[in-house]
Each structure stands twice: as structure tokens, then as C-alpha cells.
Structure 1
Amino acid sequence: MLKKLLLGLAGLAGLALASPSAARDIGGIACQTPPPARCSGASCTPETLGNRGNVVDEKTGRSFFLDYPCDLKPGEKVVLILNIHGAGSIGNWQRHYFPAVDYKDKYRLVVATPTADGSGNIGGGAGPGVRMWMPDKDDAHLRNITELVFEAFGRENIKSFWLAGHSQGGATSHRIVCSDFYRNKVDGLLSLSGGRVGPAPFVAAFGPPGPDGKPPAPRPAGARLGAAGAPACDFSHIFAVGQHEIESLGETSPLAERFGCAPRVRREVVDDQAGHVEDSARKGYPVWGMSARPGKAEVYTYPNCKDGRVVADVVRLDKGHTEGLEPRITEEIVKLMVSAKGGKAQGGG
């Protein structure tokens, strides 16, 4: 049944046994470096970012991006990232906001980036017609993608599997990570401004500015966005956020305590290049985001966690919700992901 999902990737299921040259064009889908439909800054036109992907989930008829190393060797282990956009966004914008795909060859990543259905989605104060991840419309598609990639690359070759979600995509990752389908598959969760396990309350006036450019009205205390609850399953966790989005970052982590990690260690990462994208239509309110630009980030890691887990927080200084991640901080996050314990795909963890 899963082979029906491989429309346009008919030969991909044999990838683990394919030669490196065959991996460059599988089932008519060419592996490209740099990957297709990529851009930066002013070259990120609506047409480029509106590209839905190079692979089709035949069961739903929906396209998504699948990026992987073009020189993949037989039996080589990879880290799988399911990269999930936020409310109102689209897959290819997320692919540029958190551009793990830029490091697919160096760190042997397989990155799947889908787009939410978007038909009639309403919720979270986003208003009508805003594309959001909804259980009844999107969960099956995300499961289809996961099964497709596991079958295509070989479950035994998935070193670790991460959910990475921005904003409502992060909330969606928190919602599904301990579900029956994912709890024995997902090794880590990267929340990109999508909720921390532990204290990190968002500011009261969190959200996009109005048409007049003014900040949104503050949320009542009982309706403010906050931390995700303690999870019912174990996974590595990285929380990345803009400094202007949160009131404060907790100095402790429930997951660090659960995994017996050492006290957190701080270091600084400096980027001299901007990220690829920004919310050009609504930039100007610092909480929501300004222009993409170079900057600094504080990286807090909790060392020596039990069983090789990774627990970390990343605060991007003088940034908000929508400035695309800069190259060095993207790579630092990818390195943390790759370093974490894996094995659930093989029945471990």
C-alpha cells in the first residue's frame, strides 16, 4: 500500500541498495545541489516560495519537498527532519526560514517539508482562511510522508528522526510527538518559537501587527501563549526563539531534570550573514519580526544528559518571530540535532 504513495519516486524504495550515481535521479526526481526552488532575500519571489514541492503524496494528492544528499551511499545512515511551517505560511517559506536543507550534504540529512491543507482553517486567533495544521485535514498527510521516507530510505538507515516546527507548526509537533504513531519513531523535537517544555512565556502582545502597523492587543493573562506541558514520552528537545517574543527564558528545564543533565552552559554564536526570508508584508513590529539581518544568539545547553539526549535553548538576540534563521545558528542547531541519541526507527530508544 505504501508504494502507492511513491508517485514520482517509484525507484526510491530501493535507495539503500542503489549506487551513488543512481541516487542523483530516482524515479524521475533529480537530486540537486543546490536544491530546487531555493532563493534568498529579494530573489524570494511569491512564485518561488509558492512552489509546493518535488514529490506527491498520492494518497492525498498533495505535494511536498524531499531533499537528501545527492551522493548518498548504500546503507548510509541519515537524520530525518520533518520541517513543519507555522499558521499562514507555506512549506517552501519554512524550508527557507529554517534552512536545514543547506546542510543536507554536510550532515547527511533527509528533509521533508510539507504544506498544510488550508481549506477553511480557522483558529488560534488567526482568523478565517488562514492555513493551519489541523488534525482532521493534515495528520494523515504527515503520517504518509513519514511512512514514505521510512520505506524509501530504509527504516534501518534512519539514524534519528526529528520534528521541527515553527510557531503553530511547533505546537503541532508538541501535539503529535507522543501520539501512538510517533512516540516510537521520533527522537527529537525542535520548537522554533512553538513552545518550550518548561517556562518561557510569550509576551502579552504577541502576534502580527494590524493593518495600521500597530501591535496587537495584549492577550488576557489566561489566554497567553506559554510553555508546552511535560511530555508523556521521552525525546531530545531544542527550543529556539527570538529575544523579543518571550518575557523570559527559564533557567531550568523539566526535560534536563528528567534526563539527569548537568547545569546549563551558555555560549554565543555570531552570524555575519542574514537569513533567507522575512515576513516582508508585516515586518516592523519587533515582536513579530523585522528585516532578516546578521546577529547574535545565546545557546544554552544542558550537558551530559542520560542516554545521549540533547536539551538546549537558543535565544536569537534582537530578533522576533519571523526573521529567517542565519547560517551559523542554523548549523549550530543542526549539529545539536545530529549529536543527539537516535535509534527509535530501529526499535531502540
Structure 2
Amino acid sequence: MPATVDRLPEGAILLLRPDRLGDVLLTLPAFAAIKQHWPDRQVIAAVSRYTAPIVSACPLVDDVWALPVVDGRGRFDRDSWAGRARPAAVISYFSDFPNAFALWRQRIPLRLGPSSKLAQVFYNHRVVQRRSASVKPEWAYNLDLSHDLIRQTGGEPGSVPRAPFLQFRDSAADSRTAFAAEHGLDAEAPWVFIHPGSGGSAPAPTPADYARVASELAIGGCRFVITAGPDELPLANHLATAMADLSPLVYHSQGGLVDFAANLRHADLFVSGSTGPAHLAGALARPTATFYPSLPTAGPRRWQTLAPKDHRFAFIPPAGADPFDMASIDYAAVGRRLGAFLLSRND
């Protein structure tokens, strides 16, 4: 509910998250909290050109600024501000020096960001977070910044927004029927999507590991869909060979992030390492089974998906194993646990 006394100056609210897909998706609850509190304000997300299309599918963002990518991150340049009114406030959920300086140069009245790194000198409101301690999920750290802006301007935060955060033109039912017809799948059967690729720094299971999970997970009528981005087809085909007895479908996504996300809606379970597609499935409120190293800074507490708690599974190396030793995970036990989950859903 909007604040009774709103001390925020007139104008739009700019929300900056210029880094990787997973990071951006874990900021969607924070974006949603701002729109939830200020439904009549224009809420603008500034993200990299790569992630801009998927953020455009978030109904709680009114506009998206696609920033050119420099050194792997979106970055403001002179053209970013051409023809655009100065926002009333900006939240920088990820702070780096060039972007913080660009925001300061625009003289945006309220500039809020984390109290870390040299870039904090360009904000006039700062929040101490110490994210490296990893005591909260990443999405909660992001949400804290949105809540701070709400309180700074005289309001109280509302309920925590929940997935799904993305909408598409067609209904999920119609899209599932079309996907089934195109790929020869039974639309009534449970579909398990497995994404063997890993675009981040976290280690992932091998194709043989995923095949072991699938062999234990398989239930009557269950179909497997192996997903692959534009450069991941060889890895997907390797996994398909390892799972040949289960007749998996290889879904090679070449239509862009929005098309890929629209099809992830159909996953009755999404299995992967800690990578962007896992967070995409979570943002769609699909059940996720994710493999992580056991380090706090890279583990499931910090990098959990946005899937509902009882539909979110996390697996790490056992106690005593090297934190990055993914081979030490009991993949057969993982498969049995996930199979029981699918059976309970079908019942």
C-alpha cells in the first residue's frame, strides 16, 4: 500500500542491475516491491542489453533501459540519457565505479546503493549489507535496498513479492500444447528439463552425473527435455547420448531469452547447476533442483532460486568433501528424492 506521506520527489524510479542473468532475476522481487509500493510511479529497470528482453517480460516494470555491455556489465553512456527525464530516485543493486559516477553526474536527487567499494561515495543514501557473509539469499539483500528506499521516503514495505515474476502473450496451457505437438511429447505427462550447461563460475555435474539422476528419477510416462543455449549443443548432445535409453528430447534454444523462458514454463521439474537458467525457472515458479558447491558465498543459502520453498531442492557435496567436489554427491539418491517429489505431485 502506498505511504500516507510520500517524501519522494516527483519523477520516475530507476532500478539498476547491470550484471548477469541470474543476478538480474534475483533482483525481480526488489523491482516488484517498488512497483507494489508506488503503483502510480514509472518504474524503470536499467540492465544490460543481454538481459533487457527478459526484464521486459516482468509486468511490474514500466520501462527497460538496455545498457551497452562493457567488460561483461551494462554501463551508462552519454546516449543512455538522451531524451529522458531525470529520475527522482535510483537504486543501484550492484555497485561499480563507472555506473555510480554516471548517476552522480546526472544529479539524481536520491541515489541509494550498498555501502561497499569506493563507488559508495557517489550515493547520498547507503545501506550496510556485508553480502560476503552470505547470511541471506541474494534476493533478500536486493529486497533490503528497495525496502530502505520505501522507509527513507516515509513508507512501510508491504508483503514480500513471490514468483512468478514474468508474463507472456500466450497462456501456459496453449504454449505447452504447441510445444508438445512440435516435439512429439505427451502434453499430459510430467516433463523434467535438464540443463547441463554452466555459464557461471560454479561447478556443475557432468553428463554422466545427470544421466544417473535421470535413471533413478524416471517414472511411468516421465519425459526428459535437455535444454541448450546457442553455444551449448555439443554438451546437450553428450548428455543425450548418456541418456539414450530414456529417449530424451534435445531442445536447442535459438529464439532468444524470452522464447526460452516461455518454454521453461512447462517444466514440471528443472534440474541444473547454479546458473542463469535455474534462476529463470525459479522466477517462473517452476520446481527447481540445483547443484551447488558447499561454500557459503556460492551455496544454496545465498544463491537459492525464487521457486516456492517446498518446490526448491538444493544439493551440495557432503560434509568432509572438497566444497567443489561435485563427484562426491550421491546422484542416485538425488534421483530417488526427485522421483518421489514428482510422484507426489502426480498423485
Same-fold call, TM > 0.5?
no
Q: Comparing both structures, which one devotes a greater share of its residues to helix?
A: 2
